[in-house]
Amino acid sequence: MTNINYEENFLTLLKDRKAVISVVGLGYVGLPLALSFAEAGFQVLGLDVDEDKVSKIARRESYIGHITSERLRRSSGLFSATSDFNLVSTADAIIICVPTPLTENREPDLSFVEGTLYSLLPQFRAGQLLSMESTTYPGTTQEVLRPPIEKKGLEIGRDFFLVYSPEREDPANPDFNTQTIPKVIGGATESCARVGLALYGQVVDKMVPVSSTQAAELTKLLENIYRAVNIGLVNELKLVAEAMGLDIHEVINAAATKPFGFTPFYPGPGIGGHCIPIDPFYLTWKARAFGLHTRFIELAGEINAKMPEHVVQKLAKALNKESKPLKNSKILLLGMAYKKNVEDMRESPSLEVLKLLLEGGAQVDYSDPHVPILPRTRKGSFELKSVPLTEENLALYDAVVLLTDHRAFDKGFIKKHSRLVVDTRGAIPAGPTVIKA
């Protein structure tokens, strides 16, 4: 190539706020990141194959609950979106924030990452930084992203820069945002790491450099596997506590008073979201290549996967005490999102509970202020709309099941006006009509 010092050029562009940042994938991770760079004074080009998202950004309309349309309007002039990957040649930094789901065989599905890469490659040029934030197994950045770029005749660390920096977004968390969540950065080379740290340092307060892209990839998996395993632990302990006639939430809250050596995790109807139910399988798949069997991680996954079935069994048992079979009983599910105060339903355990109840012959509706219409999901197409949570509506159902403890749900109101409540979150005060599950 040439004798141009691309690292020095990139750092100068950042310093002068002349670097163009492209964010590929404008979902829960990509959109707030793109807005953060625009708010820092950079020109930002968003790329997404979803034309509806592109159109809404053009109209400055938010499609994510905790991102306001006003915030989009404030970014006008600096942030634009397109589905045309040919425009990526204008960018100095390209950040990939696309999904990394699982195949039907529970193996890593990198089709979105690979599709994005090959859409970018024709326009990829010398001097650009490519960063991936999508969760994946250790080695992906070096094994999947690096070789196709080098085939263009570009030398890594000199002509282009490659980093892995795992996303750490927690939608609707009022205590943390893109700026205040520390950013882990792993570079393919030392110069890649320097450029990556300089890029994210423009919008994030604290940088956490690690020795390699593989270390950064494993860091992300550890964070989510830690949560998955601990949730599996408390879900199992919940079953033990129930058998003993004890309230697991009382026990956890008491244990949480210990000022050291204990972090509280809470049980529920299962695990959901785009990370926790999926990420452990990325590591177990990769571990098999080294002849290792991650039994502890897989056991936690099995326990968590059984929790929707446990909820349905508790509901059926409670109905039986009222001389009502599950079949033909009218059930109202409260909360379809995977976590409170968001609209995200990816891998939500509520969907599995819904599916099991329908298979059992129950008549099921749901109420969720964040999900007015239940879209088609991996679990199927249910063609349901959210039911308003009124005194009259609650009286229509044989039982209501609290699956997601949204702030908008008045727990006392639900308890007062429902015939039977199955509470999977420990959020409703105890009483003769309240069953903990």
Q: Are residues 312 and 175 in the same domain?
A: no
Q: Which residue carries 């969720």 as its tokens?
A: 368
Q: Are 27 and 171 in contact (CB under 8 A)?
A: no
SS3 content of the chain, % helix, strand, coil (to 5): 40, 15, 45
**Which of 191, 214, 237 is a domain's end point?**
214
Residues 332 and 253 in one domain: yes
Edge-first strand listing for the sheet containing 93-96: 79-82, 43-47, 20-24, 93-96, 129-132, 161-164, 183-187, 207-210
Residue-level pLDDT at 172:
82
The pLDDT of residue 199: 98
pLDDT in tens, 320-355: 999 999 999 999 999 999 999 999 998 999 999 999
Q: Are residues 259 and 147 in the same domain?
A: no
Whether residue 277 sits in one domain with residue 176: no
C-alpha closest to that of 232 among 302, 287, 171? 302
Q: Tell me: do 362 and 425 sit in the same domain.
A: yes
- Quick one: pLDDT band at residue 377, thresholds 50, 70, 90? confident
| Residues contacting residue 71 through CB under 8 Å, at least 6 positions apart | 35, 62
Considering only CA atoms, which of 333, 322, 389 is closest in space to residue 363? Answer: 333
Note the pLDDT of residue 349.
Answer: 96
Q: 320 lies in a domain? A: yes
Q: What is the pLDDT of residues 177-216, one digit of tens each?
A: 999 999 999 999 999 999 999 999 999 999 999 999 999 9
Same domain (yes/no): 254, 209? no
The alpha helices in 126-212, defined as continuous H runs, are: 140, 146-150, 190-200
The alpha carbon dihedral of 146, 149, 155, 159 has a sign of negative
Point out the domain boundary residue: 214, 237, 270. Answer: 214
Distances (CA, A) of 22 to 126, 158, 233: 15, 20, 41
Catalytic residue among 275, 276, 333, 345: 275
For residue 154, the 8-state DSSP code is P
pLDDT surpassing 80 at residue 1: no
pLDDT at residue 283, rounded to an integer: 94
Q: Could you tell me if 334 and 405 lie in one domain?
A: yes
Asked if 192 is an active-site residue, the reply is no
Q: At what angle do helices 6-15 and 190-200 cross, to 10 degrees?
A: 10
Does the residue 297 lie in any domain?
A: yes
Question: Higher pLDDT residue, 20 or 102?
Answer: 20
Identity of the residue numbered 9: N
* 207 domain residue, yes or no: yes
Q: Which of 168, 194, 214 finishes a domain?
A: 214
pLDDT tens digits, 395-412:
999 999 999 999 999 999
pLDDT for 375:
80
Do 282 and 414 fall within a single domain?
Answer: yes
In this predicted model, what pLDDT tens digit does every residue of 253-291 receive, in sequence order? 999 999 999 999 999 999 998 788 899 999 999 999 999
- Quote the number of domains for the chain: 2
* One domain for residues 19 and 139: yes
Binned at pLDDT 50, 70 and 90, residue 105 comes out as confident
Check whether 2 has a pLDDT greater than 70: no
Q: Are residues 346 and 267 in the same domain?
A: yes
Q: What is the pLDDT of residue 274?
A: 79
How far apart, in whole angstroms, are the C-alpha atoms of residue 27 and residue 224?
19
pTM higher than the cut 0.75: yes
* Consecutive H or E run containing 279: helix 279-288
Exposed, middle or buried, 193 (CB in 10 Å: 0-12/13-18/19+)?
Answer: buried
In the chain, pLDDT over 70 holds for what percent of residues?
A: 99
Output the average pLDDT for the chain: 95
- For residue 175, pLDDT beyond 80: yes
| 259 in any annotated domain | yes
If you average pLDDT over residues 60-76, what whole number do you get?
Answer: 93
What range does the domain containing 366 cover? 249-436
Are 191 and 327 within one domain? Answer: no
CATH of the domain at 254: 3.40.50.720
- Give the dihedral of Cα atoms 421, 422, 428, 431; nearest 10 deg: 60
Q: What is the pLDDT of residue 88?
A: 95
**What does the pLDDT average to over 365-390?**
89
Same domain, 180 and 286: no
- Please give the Cα distance from 309 to 95 (Å, whole number): 39
Mean pLDDT throughout 48-57?
96
Report the distance separating Cα 156 and Cα 391, nearest Å: 64
If you search the block for the tokens 């995790």, which residue do you land on?
A: 265
Give the pLDDT of residue 193.
98
Q: What is the CA radius of gyration of the chain?
A: 24
CB-CB contact of 217 with 139 (8 Å): yes
Cβ atoms of residues 197 and 185 within 8 Å: yes
pLDDT of amino acid 209: 98
Query: Can you tell me the mean pLDDT for 96-112?
Result: 92
Distances in Å between the alpha carbon of 275 and those of 338, 425, 434?
A: 11, 20, 31
Indicate whether 67 belongs to any domain. Answer: yes
Q: By C-alpha distance, which of 137, 192, 235, 210 is closest to 437?
A: 235
Residues 396, 230: Cα–Cα separation, whole Å: 37
Residue 21 phi/psi, 5-degree rounding, is: -110, 130
Query: How many residues comprise the chain?
Result: 437
Domain presence at residue 220: no
Question: In percent, how much of the chain has pLDDT > 90?
Answer: 90
**Within-domain flag for 234:** no
